[in-house]
Chain A
Amino acid sequence: MGMKSWWSWKLQEMKASKHSYVLLAPYMILFIMFTVIPVVISIILSFTYFNMLEFPKFIGWQNYTRLFLEDDVFLIAIKNTLLFAIITGPISYIACFVFAWIINELTPKWRAFMTLIFYAPSISGNVYFIWLMIFSGDRYGIANGLLIKWGFLLEPIQWLKTEAYIMPILILVQLWLSLGTGFLAFIAGLQTVDRTLYEAGAVDGIKNRWQELWYITLPSMRPQLMFGAVIQLTTSFAVADVSIALAGFPSVNYAAETVVTHLIDFGTTRFEMGYASAIATVLFMIMVGTNLLVQKLLRRVGE
């Protein structure tokens, strides 16, 4: 089959599927406009100096060298972001699964109730400012109040203004918020696991629930495990709102700076768009890279 006939064949196929394209078009046009093109523009801008007023000026890799060699705050941001990703990523992922797994053993009514309890924080519309009251710096904050009452503290602590406490508190709040879409996918996935596999497993010599989990449940849920991993990882790399709401912007001595808050700083405060785009591009690469790596690892579950 020659090149030309391949093309005419494809073209014919496309004509035959014109209804498919018509149905896809409205979504795809907006998706391309607000997701694909912005990613491309962002990558292009990352090689320029751009202040929103003058036309972007091409400067090669300069933004990237500045980012990694001269920007001390970016290094803090990277360190904090990785810390978030390494701690909240796996913990929230495992927590999503473990709690879904335990909840799955309950009766339907209790299952619905416990699902609500674990899911409520992530769905309740950014109410993490509750934690501002809990970690408020005066003695009326719950944390200070209880610690003073129980005699662990004499004076209230400025939790969110003390460098050493900021990150642990943010990690705690991020974990509180992190049982979201991935958690629901696991709850649902567990209910679809084929029951007969467990009976067959019991006959084949599976002795306890842990073996059952590793040899039957986890492999049956591999598709949901993949989906959950993508969702949890992406969220844990993108921490910014919680940091800004709780620790302030900028936080004390940049203790709560993350890649995204750094990006916001250069993009919206300093109008260094080229530089901010370089930050965005680095984040994008890190996210896609880790996601592919984690998916590769997950393929081995239960083997």
Chain B
Amino acid sequence: MAAITTAKKRVNRSLSGSISLFALLLVFGAFMVLPLIYAINNAFKPLDEIFTFPPTLFVKNPTLSNFTDLLNLLSDSWVPFSRYIFNTVFITGIGIVGHVLLASAAAYPLAKHKFPGKVFMFQVVVLSLMFTPAVTAIPNYMIMSWLGWIDTYWAVIIPAFAYSLGLYLMKQFMEQIPDALLEAAKIDGASEYRIFWSIVMPNVKPAWLTLIILLFQMLWGSDGNGYIYSEQLKTLHYAAGQIIQGGISRAGAGAAVALILMSVPITLFIFSQSRIIETMASSGMKD
């Protein structure tokens, strides 16, 4: 609200306008956050508290038993829990590294060079922002099976390398790097690859973080649906789905796993927020 007092040179804000806008913010903020608060509290509720009537939002006697239940439940399962964690971390880690490298390498010439085919290539990438992966699910499956990647991690990881939103944001961000900087390096005799690696890449660190969080969100939540069949290759998200569908007897463990799943990406976002917003500032499509 400080902005209202600091923006002296701006037009007067009516008090009633301010109050109604902030009331709007509060009401909808509550709508956004209450389900999450409910989920967090549920994870610490003893089983009898999860099934009380009337249901409560906040936990009264917090306990960690849901988490120990979860561990017991999973240690009895055919595939150890650590395996699901490993699968998810592996898919997410490799996917992110590959995407950041490939998308940055491709974004650099698109942002800074002139060459035949550039406009066309970029337009195709922009067009692909406009549809959902579901459109290409069937041919993708066929291509994966030709490549022999069905039931391997690669079916999930490699397509993520070429995620179009990441390239798009990276290209928009790189356009802001001053040309003079690149010219200077060129005069000093640096090759294009050297310029990309030693000058462009360090300058786009905020955009890396954005790509990381986008890919993290996508891969962390992936269950390998349709591509991965072997139980020992399946992801945390898949395992979580199984537990949550387990019904009343597993409601506590389900709440615990939900909390684990959601807290990782949220924590990551908290630490990278300002950088991500910096990247998004350059996200626009120009007329």
Given known A-B contacts A24-B109, A26-B106, A208-B12, A124 and B36 have beta carbons under 8 A apart: yes
Stretch of B17-25, B60-68, B69-77, B177-185 with 4 or more beta carbons under 8 angstroms from chain A: B17-25
Contacts of A252 in B (CB 8 A): none
A residues contacting B by CB (< 8 A) are 10, 13-14, 16-17, 19-21, 23-24, 26-28, 30-31, 33-39, 41-42, 45, 95, 98-99, 102-107, 110, 112, 114-121, 123-127, 129-134, 139-142, 145-146, 148-149, 176, 179, 181, 184-185, 187-189, 191-192, 198-199, 201-202, 206-209, 211-212, 221-227, 230-231, 233-234, 237-238, 240, 260, 263-264, 267-268, 273, 276-277, 280-281, 283-284, 287-288, 291, 295, 299
Please give me the 9 A-B residue pairs with the lowest Cβ-Cβ distance, nearest first. A223-B284, A238-B132, A17-B115, A27-B106, A38-B136, A20-B109, A38-B139, A188-B280, A124-B262
Q: List 23 A-B contacts (CB under 8 A).
A: A19-B109, A24-B105, A27-B162, A39-B135, A39-B139, A42-B135, A45-B138, A105-B21, A114-B29, A118-B32, A130-B36, A133-B251, A181-B165, A181-B280, A187-B277, A187-B280, A188-B280, A224-B280, A238-B131, A238-B132, A280-B134, A283-B134, A287-B130
Give min CB distance, B196 to chain A, whole Å: 6
**Quick check: B35 and A223 within 8 Å, CB to CB?**
no
- The answer for the CA separation of A23 and B193 in the assembled complex, in Å, is 8
Which residues on A sit within 8 Å (CB–CB) of B44? none
Q: What A residues does B134 contact at CB under 8 A?
A: 238, 240, 260, 263-264, 280, 283
Chain B residues with Cβ under 8 A from A99's Cβ? 25, 28
The listed residue (B3, B24, B130) touching A106 by CB distance below 8 A is: B3
Of the candidates A14, A26, A35, the one whose C-beta lies within 8 Å of that of B136 is A35
Selected from B128, B143, B276, the residue in CB contact (under 8 A) with A184 is: B276
A114 to B270, CA, bound (A): 11
With a CB–CB cut-off of 8 A, which chain B residues contact A202? 9-11
Bound Cα distance A117, B30 (Å): 9
Is B229 interfacial (CB-CB < 8 Å)? no
Among B226, B237, B266, contact of A123 (Cβ-Cβ < 8 Å): B266
Q: Which chain A residues lie closer than 8 Å to B42 at the CB level?
A: 133
Known: A146-B54, A223-B284. 8 other contacts (CB 8 A): A27-B103, A120-B32, A127-B36, A189-B283, A198-B7, A223-B285, A234-B130, A284-B131
B261 touches A107 (CB 8 A): no
Given contacts A24-B110, A102-B25, A212-B10, contact A140 B264 (CB under 8 A): no
Chain B residues, Cβ within 8 Å of A263: 134, 137
Residues of B near A126 (CB, < 8 A) are 221, 237, 261
Contact B140 A27, beta carbon cutoff 8 Å: no
CB distance from A125 to the nearest CB of B (A): 4
Q: How far is the CA of A209 from the CA of B282 in the complex (A)?
A: 25
- Complex Cα distance, B128 from A31, in Å, reads 10
Counting chain A CB atoms within 10 Å of each CB, the highest count among B35, B106, B143 belongs to B35
B269 → chain A, closest Cβ, in Å? 6
Point out the residues of chain A lying under 8 angstroms from B54, CB to CB: 145-146, 148-149
Give every chain A residue within 8 A of B237 (Cβ-Cβ).
Answer: 125-126
Given contact pairs A123-B269, A267-B138, A105 touches B4 in the complex (Cβ within 8 A): yes
Q: Which residue of A lies closest to B10 (CB)?
A: A198
Residue of A nearest to B109 (CB): A20
Which of B21, B162, B262 lies in contact with A34, CB distance below 8 A? B162
A227 neighbours in B (Cβ, 8 Å): 283-285
**Nearest Cβ distance between residue B214 and chain A, in whole angstroms?**
7
**CA distance in complex: A281, B134 (Å):** 10
CB of B29 within 8 A of CB of A118, answer yes
Interface assignment of B232: CB less than 8 Å from any CB of chain A: no
Q: How far is the CB of B138 from chain A (nearest CB, A)?
A: 5
* Pairwise interchain contact A121-B32, C-beta atoms closer than 8 A: yes
CA distance A277 to B124 in the complex (A): 20
